[in-house]
Structure 1
Amino acid sequence: MRIGIDIGGTFTDVFAVADGQTFIAKVPSSYPDPSAVISAAVQAVLTKAAADGADVAALIHGTTVATNAVIERDLGVVGLITTAGFGDVLAIGRQTRNSLYQLDFTPRWVPVPRELRAEVNERTDFTGQVLTAPDRDEVLAVAEHLISGGATALCVGFLHSYANDANEREAAAWIEHAFPDIGVWTSASSVPEFREYERFSTAVMDAALGQTMTTYLRRFTDQSRAAGVVPEPYLMESSGGVVRMSEAALRPTRTLLSGPAGGVLGAIDLAKQHDRADLLTFDMGGTSADIGVIREGAPDVVGIRHFEDLPVLGTTVALEAIGAGGGSIASIDRGGRLQVGPRSAGSVPGPASYGKGGTEATVTDAHVVLGTLPQAARLGNSLQVDRELAVEAVERSVAKPLGLDVISAAHAILDMVNTNMALAARRATVAQGIDPRTLTLVAYGGAGPLHATSLAGELGIDEVVIPPHPGMLSALGLLVSDLRKEFVRSSVMQLIPPNIDQLSDEVKLLMADALAWRDAQGETGTWTAGIEGELRYRGQEHALRTRLPDLPWDARTVEVVKETFDELHEQLNGYRVTDEEIELVSLRVTCAIDVGGSELQLQYATGSGVELAAPDTPVWWTSAAPVPTPLISAPDLHHEDWIEGPAILVQEDATCAVAPGYRFRTLAKTGGIAIQRIP
């Protein structure tokens, strides 16, 4: 049995696969310690499967603990020890401003205040040659000063440690021996890549999150053992691969998009079973929406992301995130304009229609007013929305201030949020040289299927796929992941035939590290290793990650790589420079081991039907008049012929609105729903 656990703000989703059967469970999430419900969550799904903890072969988890800690600034106090003359690197940054013409400029947040940044005399040059070794007494003196100043963790970040981290490792070892109760991170162990600001920022964030993640993962592991689970759990990283929890605690920043990455993997696996390889993934939950692109069955990735205006290095599934979810609050700003989000009603008090004390209008309330989220169905087979409360909230918050009737106001709320999501989708596609009309939209999350046909219409997409259990796809996606690790070497050199042997030697060193890591895992699944390089035209600042051919390399490899890079550069930037030399900035080998995810088959779990109070429901598809619309329990729909919309498809974890002008049918292989624009 394989179990995936995705913890959300309201519910913890559990998805299990055993002997070809699938089982799901939802339990209320706990706060402030999300791990407190793990034992109960595992037991809930084991009970449904008539199994016990000894039957569990793998437990995989996706988490937002690190993300929430960064957003809420619930971080450890970090002291930074760096090379003399570079103590203000974090404060100076790249000297960029988000709003160039903002008169009331607010300096960005610096994670380490000046009094907790210390300098020591040491130096390594860009070739990796140690020019000045650090002095033990000086290092320990500044470490003691930072600890006495309140630092609960220390980060050692020296110049050019990506080329040779001997000075960093030696200084860290001295500190760990002298102060065993203090966590110590080094910048090269976090990310051995050049650019001091980004490397220092990433390492400092690892140190700041270290204690929080260590405590959380330890509690999670204890809870899983209490449920009888023997194997060490895995944790999803932002790259879409998993690592063992004992390793994840060392690199917390690699889990900042842990939860959303699981949904992307689930979407890929679903689409693969239906021979779809080019996708636009759309994950809309209660507070935010994440949009990503899949090409040829693989997600687009980036090497750097910004969280709270701080750069964080590391391979991450490329997602456009906006504050638009079912709980996003609709209000009127000081200029008299409608705005939706990023404020959210959350799970407490929640949307007004939930009847739990919420009074502000939300996206969910707009759906309830219009009937796309009908009173006749119980959400999660337990919660019944109240349309009168939704009408009151929308009328008070939006309709009266704008002089609209309540139906028009509800449409305005949805039009606003749909437009914002379409803009995010265009940033993920059109801005990257991708035509969204060539993609299939996979919509999931609790609110994604409600907006699927609206978003598809905005983007000109003809086909939409709704997964089985769309609200739990992130938990399911955890199960198709593989064990993964990256090995990186920064080495700036020209991509020319005379350098090909040196580049080959660099790759061989990385491959040797990858093989050693593979052998140490004790896994018997198939494994792969891919080679990538970060390339740029000479004189450019930033590089593009480019797939490189497998070894061996020769002079002809240069031309193959150059053509690949030129095509990628033209796609993203609109031009290529055929007579300019190309520089290689870094080499990267990604090693992946199949730990059982390839065997997963998506199926409906038993008993996921929905009780409906009526066969149809009035829906205001336009502001003119309500249209009687069939209300269908999606799990009970076994119809492979096309059915013309409109329709409302309801299931335990999500509701799908099929607008007029679209048709739908069941996907027999997986139990999902296909939706197409009627020609």
Structure 2
Amino acid sequence: MRIGIDIGGTFTDVVAVDERGSITTVKSLSTPRDPSQGVLDGLELLAGRLQKTLGELLAHTELLIHGTTVATNCLAERRGARVGMITTAGFRDLLELRDGTKASRYDLHAAYPQPLVARPDRIEVAERVRFDGTVQTRLDEDAVLKALSQLRNRDVEAVVVGFLHAHVNPAHELRVRELLEGTGWRVYTVLSHEILNSEGEYDRFSTAAVNAYVGPRLNGYFSRFENRMREAGATFPIMIMQSTGGLLPIDQAGAYAVGCVTSGPAGGAMASALYARLMDAPLVVTYDTGGTTTDISLIEAGTPLERRKTEHEELKIAVPSIDISVVPLGGGSIARLDSGGILTLGPQSAGADPGPACYARGGTLPTLTDANLVLGLLSPKTFLGGRMGLSMELARAAVETLARPLELSIERTALAIHALANVRIAESVRTATLKKGMDPRDMTLLSFGGAGGVHAASVASELSIGRVVIPREASVFSALGFLSADVRLDEQLQIGAQLGADAIPRVLAALDKLKDVAARRLEACGFGPERSRLTLFVDCRYKRQTSTLEVAIPADVADADLAELIRQSFSQRYQQYFGHIHADEEPFIDVCRVSAYGVVGQNNRLDEGGSAGNSLPRPGGFSETRDIFMDGWSTVPAHWFDELLVGTKIPGPAIIESATTAILVPAFVVASVDRLGSLVIEQTAKGGRS
């Protein structure tokens, strides 16, 4: 058995898949003060579902894969470690100067982003490596030792070393680590070239600083989590989900902490890619609406689209990650009136504690979940399979605080909140697709997350998308995606050459070197050639431009054909993104990259489409009809999702409900269950849309 665990803002999701491909899922409330407690609570629930003790469950587990928001929260809340920095003389203020930009570059009154390393904790030392790797100024080791002593006296928790052109010649950065270790100071240490091995000193320094800022907290959490698991009887390997959609062993993930910044949402993208392949859907846009955010990703030819750089809270992170757009809108998003008296939703969230008002845990502010409960789209008696009742009285009282100033009924106010969520999600999906040169009307919409199903059909209508898919495991889809991932390591080398006959030998030599390094790293993780695979890329641009586009290099391409393949592939992608090409100009090759995968193995048969196991029977409070408010009250059929067989067709309006999610099938729409057990919503022959 393999277990995937995703800690979200409101719930901790646990998914188990056995050797027969049977999928069992549970949800427990997240515990922000100690996230590992929510994990253990979820494992206890899972053991109960499988009629085992916790010890028996762990004894039958061969692998656990964990995604976490610890790194994300450290950045969002600015509660990371105190970081000290040692850098090249003259470059102390680079983190503040950035690349000369800020998010609102034309707003002269906007505050400039604050760096993660305070200026007194950034210390310069004499050293200089030139752009070609030659040493211009030798490292002043006495200055390094003095700087280390100063930082130690300031009680910094992490040290980042960022020297100019260290990606070409890292000797000085490596020597600083040797000197630090010689002092006996055991501090979390980050060398910039080990985090990002490419030119662009701001990108490299910023990414390394983020790693140092979140690393000690993440390392501490991983240590506590692993200790608690071992104390509970776990002997199996523990893997951590990375922002790339790949895995790292837990002991390595703490050192490469920047790779965990979008750990959880990456699981949803990986599960979406798996389902896109199983559905044979070439273009898929996904949205994951959970308790606090909506995460949007794009799947092309069964693979999530990636990005090379991410701006997180105006912090540059220049390492690969799945391209996920995060919108601060979820079930816990708080509805309010802005200064002009206009209804708005979020970004503030009620989170897991106290949660929406209807949770009866102390929350009093109206949230999206409260609105959907008032509308009858959620059942107060079957939430979490009946384990957690919802208070209609408290939900109505919370929504009424907005209804009075809006001079609307409680139901009309709740409907306005619901509609606002639909539009916000749809506009975010439209933006994510169009900026990639894709038309959402040509795509399948895959909706998941516990709060996504009641909005899916309306979002599709806003976007003129004719087909929506909601997986049976929608509310725990990210955790399911963890179980479809492999170990992934990324290596890159700077090239900086215009495409031509002279450039190809350099590209081939770089790729060969990267393949050797990647193979050695995979072998150190326990993956030999028979359990590994490599994908090769070059990042290209036109010479006077700054941003690049990725070009995949097939492993079997002949050397003589490589230049033409790069030229054609780059032109096609450039045309897709920008609508034109520079036909008289050759591409400029910036970087060669290799992504190396250690194949974990899919004994769980996820690659064939798992089957729901240990499905929860309908709770005692479930009713086969439901009163819902859309444009007035109406009574509609209600169906228990786990009881719907493949091929079942359900005309709208109707409610489809499970223990962890609810789906609205509007009028003039037909829903059916596909071979994977997913609910598919399509327009009817009458031409009506959701």
Q: TM-score, with normalisation over the residues of structure 1?
A: 0.96
Partner SS for 2:308: strand
Match of 2:483 among 479, 488, 502: 479
Change (3 A) 1:608 1:276: farther
Aligned position for 1:602 = 610
Query: Cα offset for 1:177?
Result: 1.7
Could you tell me how far apart the structure 2 residues matched to 1:446 and 1:355 are? Answer: 19
In the alignment, the residues of structure 1 paired with residue 466 and residue 182 of structure 2 have an alpha-carbon distance, to the nearest angstrom, of 62
For 2:590, the equivalent position in structure 1 comes to 585
Give the Cα separation in 2 of the matches to 1:101 and 1:499.
39
Distance 1:128 1:677 in 2: 61
- Aligned with residue 417 of structure 2, among 413, 418, 424: 413
Q: Per the alignment, do residues 182 and 518 of structure 1 end up closer, same or farther by CA in structure 2, a change over 3 Å counting?
A: closer
Indicate conservation of the 8 Å contact 1:481/1:597, yes or no.
no
What letter is aligned with 1:29? Answer: S
Q: In the TM superposition, what whole-angstrom CA distance separates every residue of 1:229-258 from its partner, at most 9, and x where no partner exists?
A: 223300000000001011101111100111
For 2:475 and 2:525, the matched residues in 1 are separated by 33
Alignment CA distance shift 1:126-1:199 (3 Å): same
Gaps (5+ residues) in structure 1?
none
Matches of 2:333 and 2:613, distance apart in 1: 30
When residues 362 and 38 of structure 1 are mapped into structure 2, their CA distance, relative to the original with a 3 A threshold, is closer
How far did residue 391 of structure 1 move?
2.6
Aligned length: 675
Aligned 8 A contact 1:370 1:619 in 2: yes
2:627 is aligned with 1:626: no
> Is 2:158–2:212's contact at 8 Å kept on the other side of the alignment?
yes
1:409/1:282 Cα in 2 relative to 1: closer, same or farther (>3 Å)? same
Cα distance in structure 1, aligned partners of 2:567 and 2:116? 40
Shift of 1:671: 2.0
Answer yes or no: is the 8 Å Cα contact 1:327–1:345 preserved in 2: yes
Aligned to 1:638: 645
Deviation at 1:127, TM superposition (A): 1.6
| Structure 2 equivalent of residue 489 of structure 1 | 493
Q: Deviations over 1:140-169 (max 9, x none)?
A: 111211222332211110001111111111
Q: How does 1:512-661 map to 2 (within 5 A)?
A: 512-523=516-527, 526-550=531-555, 553-597=558-602, 599-600=605-606, 601-611=609-619, 612-622=621-631, 625-638=632-645, 640-661=647-668
Preserved contact between residue 534 and residue 587 of structure 1 (Cα < 8 Å): yes
The equivalent position to 2:455 in structure 1, one of 451, 456, 470, is 451
The 1:81/1:331 distance shift into structure 2, 3 A limit, reads same
Contact between 2:163 and 2:173, CA under 8 Å: does it hold in 1?
yes
Partner of residue 93 from structure 1, selected from 90, 98, 103: 98
Moved more, 602-611 or 582-591: 602-611
Change (3 A) 1:375 1:521: closer
Question: What's the secondary structure of 1:80's corresponding residue?
Answer: strand
Inter-partner Cα distance in structure 2 for 1:38 and 1:382: 17
Whichever residue aligns with residue 605 of structure 1, its letter is G
Aligned to 1:160: 165
Alignment match, 1:221: 226
Q: Distance in 1 between matches of 2:153 and 2:32?
A: 32
Give the deviation of 1:46 after TM superposition.
Answer: 4.0
Deviation at 1:282, TM superposition (A): 1.0
Other structure's SS at 1:383 match:
coil
Deviation at 1:616, TM superposition (A): 0.9
Whether the 8 Å CA contact 2:29–2:352 is kept in 1: the answer is no
Q: How does 1:386-405 map to 2 (within 5 A)?
A: 386-397=391-402, 399-405=403-409
Q: Contact 1:38/1:224 (CA < 8 Å) preserved in 2? A: no
Contact 1:268 1:277 in 2 (8 A): no
CA distance 1:442–1:609, shift in 2 (3 Å): farther
Report the Cα offset of residue 552 of structure 1.
5.7
Deviations 1:292-315 (A, max 9, x none): 100000001001111121001111
Report deviation, 1:68: 0.7
- What is the rounded CA distance, in whole Å, between the counterparts of 1:567 and 1:70 in structure 2? 37
Contact persistence 1:237–1:261 (CA under 8 A): yes
RMSD of the alignment, in Å?
1.8
How far apart are the structure 2 equivalents of 1:277 and 1:551?
24
Q: Take 1:578 and 1:332, find their aligned partners in 2: how far apart are those partners?
A: 52
Q: Flag the 1:2–1:377 CA change in 2: closer, same or farther, 3 A.
A: closer
3-state secondary structure, aligned to 1:12: strand
Find the partner of 1:315 among 308, 316, 320.
320
- Measure the CA separation in 1 of the matches of 2:653 and 2:465: 18
Q: Is the 8 A contact 2:242 2:262 kept in 1?
A: yes
Give 3-state SS (helix, strand or coil) of 1:349's partner.
coil
The offset of 1:291, in angstroms, is 0.7
Secondary structure of 1:71 counterpart: helix
Contact kept, 8 Å, 2:72 with 2:262, in 1: the verdict is yes
Change (3 A) 1:376 1:135: closer
1:354 paired residue number = 359
1:215-254 → structure 2 map (5 Å cutoff): 215-254=220-259
Q: Distance in 1 between matches of 2:360 and 2:154?
A: 49
CA distance in 1, matches of 2:545, 2:96: 24
| Preserved CA contact (<8 Å) 1:153 1:207 | yes
User: In structure 1, what is the Cα distance between the partners aligned to 2:346 and 2:28?
Assistant: 27
CA distance in 2, matches of 1:392, 1:93: 48
What SS does structure 2 have at the residue aligned with 1:545?
strand
After alignment, is 234-243 or 508-517 more displaced? 508-517
Structure 2 CA distance for partners of 1:415 and 1:24, relative to 1, 3 Å: closer
2:63 to 54, 58, 65: 58
Larger deviation, residues 85-94 vs 271-280:
271-280
SS at 1:279 equivalent: strand
Whole-Å Cα distance in 1 between the matches of residues 219 and 367 of structure 2? 36
> What is the aligned partner in structure 2 of residue 45 from structure 1?
46
Secondary structure of the residue aligned to 1:417 is: helix
The TM-score normalised by the length of structure 2 is 0.94
- Quick one: which of 342, 346, 362 aligns to 1:341? 346
Q: State which drifts further: 455-464 or 174-183.
A: 174-183
Mapped to 2, the partners of 1:159 and 1:363 lie a distance apart of 49
- Secondary structure of the residue aligned to 2:435 is helix
Residue equivalent to 1:24:
25
Partner of 2:432: 428
602-611 vs 228-237, which moves further: 602-611
Q: State the one-letter code of the partner of 1:522.
A: G
Q: Distance in 1 between matches of 2:396 and 2:44?
A: 40
Percent identity among equivalent residues? 34
Query: Is the Cα contact below 8 Å between 1:217 and 1:245 reproduced in 2?
Result: yes
Q: 1:372 to 1:526 in 2, by over 3 A?
A: same
Are 1:131 and 2:136 counterparts? yes
Q: Which runs of 5+ in 2 are unaligned?
A: 686-690
- In structure 1, the partner of 2:9 is 9
Distance in 1, Cα, partners of 2:159 & 2:325: 32
Q: Give the Cα–Cα distance (whole angstroms) in 1 for the partners of residues 223 and 523 of structure 2.
A: 25
* CA apart distance, 1:67: 0.4
Residue aligned with 2:228, SS: helix
Q: Could you give the per-residue CA deviations for residues 437-481 of structure 1, whole angstroms, max 9, x where no partner exists? A: 111111111101111101111111111111122111111111110
